[in-house]
Amino acid sequence: PVHRTAEVQAARMKLPILAEEQAIVEAINENPVVILAGETGSGKTTQVPQFLYEAGYAANGKIIGVTEPRRVAATSMANRVAEEMNLHDGQVGYQIRFEGNVKDNTRIKFMTDGVLLKAIQKDFLLNNYSVVIIDEAHERSVYSDILLGLLSRIVMLRQKRGNPLKMVIMSATLRVEDFTDNQRLFKTKPVVIQVEARQFPVSVHFNKRTAFEDYVDESYRKVCKIHRQLPDGGILVFLTGQQEVNALCRKLRQTFPGVKKTGESKPDEDMEKVLSKIKAKKQNMKKRSKKEVDQRVKINLDHYSALPLQEQEQDHDESLGDLVDSDQELDINDESEALSQSQTAPPLWVLPLYSLLPSYRQQKVFAAPPEGSRLCVVATNVAETSLTIPNVRYVVDTGRVKTKFFDKVTGVSAFHVTWTSQAAANQRAGRAGRTGPGHCYRLYSSAVFNDEFEKFSLPDIARRPIDDLVLQMKSMDIEKVIHFPFPTPPDIQQLYAAERRLLLLNALEPPPRNIRLKRKISQEWTSKITPLGRAMAAYPLAPRYAKMLLLSQQHDLLQLSITLVAALSVQELVLDQPADSEPGDTHRRWLGQRRSWAGTGQSLFLGDPMVLVRAVGAAEYSGDIEAFCSTNGIRSKALREVRKLRVQLTNETNLIIPSGTTPIVVDPRMAPPTELQAKQLRQILMAGLPDHVARRIAPNEIKEAEDRRKYKYAYRCPEMEDPVFLNPSSILRYSHPEWIVYQDIYEHDDKIYLRGITAIEP
C-alpha cells in the first residue's frame, strides 16, 4: 500500500487522469498494447506508473519501465513520483546516459529511450519488466520509434511464452493515427484511451510585425509589458537554447533589480585547471621517443578498439554549442537573487528551464513563487509537453525551435533555429490554459504562422540520413533492417544507400560474389555487422567520421584528427573565392595564405583538409581571432563552432577509448601536422571516404579542341554521369592530381563542384 501525504493526495485529485484510473488499469490488464492520449498536464507521466504499481505490476520483483526522449523528463519525473508515493528507499529510480540511482529494489524505473534500447541489446525479451511505458511518443524521436517497433514484437514473444509484457504508449493529443493505423506495427489495432483534460480558453495574440532576428529582445519587451500592465499569473517564455534562456533571465533581472547580488562563478579557476591539464599532457607526449614515432608510419586499417557500445541519446533542445557554452551561466543558487524588484512593478521571480540545468534548479519551477511576486519561467521547448509548470497564465512564444539538421552528403550534423510547427505552437499556447483562462503572445504574424509553419513536425527518422541508425540496428543483430516495423519507415532508397556506404566502410560483411554481381545487394542479402562496425557504432558521429577517429588511436593522432573531423563538419570554415569575379587584392591575399598553409610534399597531398587544420591552428595562435579571421577569409563563427566540436569530440573519445589509455585533452593551440602526420592523416581520410573517389578526365577523353580548356579541372565520380569540377578555391588546383578523394559535392550556377580535396597519388 502507498502512503501519500494529504497535500499530495489533494494535488492528485485535481488531475483529470485520476477519474480514469480504473478504465486505464482494466484496459492494460486486458490488452497487450494500450495507447493513452491526453492533453499535456493531465497527469499521464506522474500518475500512470503509480496506477500500475498499485495494480500489482511491480509484484514478484518485476519492473515498471518508463522511457522518455529527454533526460530532463526522466530525472524530474522519477523524483516527482518518488515524492508523491512517499517512497524514498530507491523503489522509484531513473537511469540516463551516465547517471542514475537505480538499485536492486527499484520497481518503477524512468529512463531515456536510448537506455532501454541498450537494455534490449542485453536481454531481448526484457524479462525483468512487467510493463513498458513509452512516454512522449508524439515527439517521434528516432530511438522511441525504434523501441515501438521492437516492443511490438517483444510483446508477442512474451505472450507466446506465457509471461506477458504490457506495452503502453503515451502521447499528447496529436497524430495518434501514426501508431493506430499502422498494420505493420500492430496487426490488431491497439486500444486507445483519450483522457479528457480540463483546458481553459487561451486567447492567441499574433504580432503584426514578425520579429525575425531580434526575437529574444522582442520577448524581453513582451515580458516587461505583461509584468507591468497585466493582472497576476505566471509567464512562460519559449526560446530555443540555453544561451538565449540565460541571456533573457539576466536582462529581466537587470530590469527588475534584485535584492542582493552574490558572486558569480569564477572563470579563472576553470581556466587554470584546463591549462594544467594541457601541460601534463604535453609532458606526457614528450616522454615518448621521437624515433619510436618515426617507425610507426603506416596506418594499420585493422587497428581500432573501443569499449562496448555506449548509449547514444540526443536531447532535442541541446546543441553542442550549449554543452560547451563558454558564456558564464547566471548563478541563481541564491534564492534572493532570482527575485527581482523595481519601483514600478511587483517582484518578478525569474527562473530558467532547460535540459542541462541541474535538477534541483529545475525543480524550482514547480514551487510557488515567493509571496507577492510573479513567476516568470524562461524555457526551451522542454516546457512544451515534457514538463508542466503550474499556474502559467501568459505564454510568450517566439515560434522558434532549435533543430538538428543533417548534410545529406556528409552526414554531418548542425543545429539551426527554424520555425516550429503549427501543432507545436498550439501545444505551447495550451500551456497558458491549464489552471484558468490565459493568453498566448506570438512574436510572429498570423501570415507567417499560416504560410511558413509546417502543420506537424516531421518525425526525426524522415529528416536525416540513416547510416548511423542502420549501423545501430545491425549492432543489435537486426540484420533485415528493411523488414523492421517502423512507425514511419525511412525511404527505401535511403536505406539501400546507407547499407552500400556501410559496406564500403567495412562496417558490414560483404555479400558473396554472385549476389554482388547482381547489384541488388540489399534485396537479397542482409549483411552482418563487422567488429569494426561495432566499434564505430559506439561513436555519436556519422560512421565515416567515427571510423577516422577510431583509426586515429594509433600514432598519437587523435588530437589532430579530432580537429580535422571538427573542421570538416562545420560549413564553410574557410571562405570560397567568388567563382565569377576577378580576384581582388583581398582574395589574392587569402589565396597566398592558403598556399602557404598547404605547404609542400606530404602537406600538399593532404590538400584542402590540411588548409583547414592549419587555419584552425593559426587562428587560435593569433591572439586576435576576429582580426585574423577577417584578414584571412575564415568565418569566425565557424571557427568558434570548431572549437566547441573539438571539446565535445574529445570528451566522447575519452569515454570510448579503452581504459588504461591516457585521456586526451583539447589544446586549442595545437602545433601543425608534421610531414609524417600529414601522411598518416591522408591515409585516415581515405579510409573514411572510400566512396568519395574521383579521377581526373584525361585530355584524350575529350574530343573537341575547345572543350579541352573547359575541362581543365574536370573529374569523374562514380555516382555522377557528368563531369564534376574542382572547387575554385581548392588548393589542389595547382597540381590537379589524377586520383583524389573529396569531402562533398555541391552545385553552383549549374556546375557541379567537389570540395575538400585530398590527393590519393602524389
Asked whether the beta carbons of 564 and 609 are under 8 A apart, the reply is yes
Q: Which is nearer to Mg ion, 44 or 393 (CB)?
A: 44
Shortest Å distance, C-beta 64 to Mg ion? 15
Pick out residues in 38-77 that bind Mg ion (CB under 5 A). Answer: 44-45
What residues contact 290, with CB distance under 8 A and at least 6 apart? none
Asked whether the beta carbons of 200 and 370 are under 8 A apart, the reply is no
Which of Mg ion, ligand ADP, none does residue 210 bind to, with CB < 5 to 8 Å depending on kind? none
Asked whether the beta carbons of 678 and 602 are under 8 A apart, the reply is yes
Shortest Å distance, C-beta 76 to ligand ADP? 6
Which of ligand ADP, Mg ion, none does residue 46 bind to, with CB < 5 to 8 Å depending on kind? ligand ADP
Q: Which is nearer to ligand ADP, 9 or 450 (CB)?
A: 9
What are phi and psi for residue 96, nearest 5 degrees? -120, -175
153 to 33, 165, 633, 662: CA distances (angstroms): 11, 11, 55, 43
Strand partners, 441: 205, 396
Shortest Å distance, C-beta 235 to ligand ADP? 16
Asked whether the beta carbons of 194 and 173 are under 8 A apart, the reply is yes
Which of Mg ion, ligand ADP, none does residue 533 bind to, with CB < 5 to 8 Å depending on kind? none
Residue whose Cβ sits closest to Mg ion = 45
The separation between CA 504 and the C-alpha centre of its own chain, rounded to angstroms, equals 26
Q: Which is nearer to Mg ion, 44 or 138 (CB)?
A: 44
Strand partners, 93: 109
Q: Which is nearer to Mg ion, 66 or 551 (CB)?
A: 66
Shortest Å distance, C-beta 92 to ligand ADP? 12
Q: Which is nearer to ligand ADP, 44 or 253 (CB)?
A: 44
Asked whether the beta carbons of 410 and 743 are under 8 A apart, the reply is yes
Pick out residues in 42-61 that bind ligand ADP (CB under 6 A). Answer: 42-47
Q: What is the x/- site pattern for ligand ADP, positions 351-390, by CB under 6 A? A: ------------x--x---------------------x-x
Q: Which is nearer to ligand ADP, 51 or 444 (CB)?
A: 51
Q: Which is nearer to ligand ADP, 85 or 564 (CB)?
A: 85
For residue 80, state whether it binds ligand ADP (rule: CB under 6 A): yes
Residue 674: CB atoms within 10 Å: 14
Number of residues that bind Mg ion (CB under 5 A): 2
Q: Which is nearer to ligand ADP, 352 or 633 (CB)?
A: 352
Reported as half-sphere exposure (CB side, CA atoms, 13 A), residue 471 has a value of: 33
Which of ligand ADP, Mg ion, none does residue 487 bind to, with CB < 5 to 8 Å depending on kind? none
Grid coordinates belonging to 271: 581556466
Phi-psi region of 175 (alpha: psi -120 to 50; beta: other; left: phi over 0): left
For residue 435, state whether it binds ligand ADP (rule: CB under 6 A): no
Tracing cell 518485476 back to the chain, one arrives at 62
Tracing cell 581582388 back to the chain, one arrives at 584
Which of Mg ion, ligand ADP, none does residue 312 bind to, with CB < 5 to 8 Å depending on kind? none
Number of residues that bind ligand ADP (CB under 6 A): 16
Q: What is the x/- site pattern for ligand ADP, positions 5-44, by CB under 6 A? A: ----------x----------------------x-xxxxx
Asked whether the beta carbons of 31 and 190 are under 8 A apart, the reply is yes
Q: Which is nearer to ligand ADP, 42 or 530 (CB)?
A: 42
Measured N-to-C along each axis, helices 44-54 and 21-30 cross at an angle, to the nearest 10 degrees, of 60
Distance CA 710, CA 583 (A): 19
Reported as half-sphere exposure (CB side, CA atoms, 13 A), residue 215 has a value of: 26
The separation between CA 527 and the C-alpha centre of its own chain, rounded to angstroms, equals 28
For residue 67, state whether it binds ligand ADP (rule: CB under 6 A): no
Q: Could you tell me which of 385, 389, 388 has the C-alpha nearest to residue 375?
A: 389
Q: Which is nearer to ligand ADP, 43 or 321 (CB)?
A: 43
Residue type, 69: P
Q: Which residues bind ligand ADP (CB under 6 A)?
A: 15, 38, 40-47, 76, 80, 363, 366, 388, 390
Q: Which residues bind Mg ion (CB under 5 A)?
A: 44-45
